[in-house]
Amino acid sequence: MGLTPLYRDNEEFRNTVRSLVALAFLQHEDIEVAYDIVRQNAPNLPQMVQFLRYFSSTFIRRPRGPSTFSPNEWSCYLGVTSDLGRTNNGQEGWHNAFRSNFGTSAHPSMSKMIVGLKNEDKNAHDRLRNHELDHTRPIIGFPRKTMYVKNDIAIKTLIDEYYGTPEDERTDAQLLLLLQALQYRVNAFSD
């Protein structure tokens, strides 16, 4: 679509796109209505109309049938409110550390594989033992950076506050403010 220059140079366009990203933090049954509110407040640009049409058919709804990815597939509301990770970075970090047991070989010999598995078993037992001695220590290998933990807490707080308001008292303006606050939090480390 060639939207990079517009995203970089037009703040209204950029904020609308970021609000669409923030929809993922809502309960899946609220996403369609929230999308309509974002669409109604979007800048009136031909590229915006084209992008919203694409976004809607891919992630919200199609004129004749379901979207490619329904909101209940990509909503991360339950994960955030249950303190689950939003990414697979932890798994990728573990996999990278695990592969380092085998050197640079993509196909380690059986003896290297056995040594690597023994090392991983020892590391896992050490982490469990440390957790049993001090329950404040995480079982995971590396704790997350404080700034990411604080950001996740802020995201959860925003969501909890919004959904703590009775549904009949929520306004479109409150929803837009929530999406703006969420987009700030989601993009806190990317700009």
Condensed to tens digits (0 to 9), the pLDDT of residues 127-172 reads 888 888 888 777 776 677 889 889 999 999 999 999 999 999 999 9
Residue 65: strand, helix, or coil: strand
**pLDDT, position 57:** 94
Q: Which tokens belong to 39? A: 């669409």
**pLDDT, position 155:** 95
**pLDDT, position 96:** 83
Beta carbons within 10 angstroms of residue 59's beta carbon:
20
- Per the CB < 8 A criterion, the answer to whether 98 and 116 are in contact is yes
Identify which of 1, 51, 37, 7 has the alpha carbon closest to the alpha carbon of residue 190.
7
Residue 21: strand, helix, or coil: helix
Identify which of 20, 10, 7 has the alpha carbon closest to the alpha carbon of residue 179.
20
The number of CA neighbours under 13 Å toward the Cβ of 145 is 5
Low-confidence ranges of the chain (pLDDT < 50): none
**pLDDT, position 64:** 83
> Is 0.85 surpassed by the pTM of this model?
no
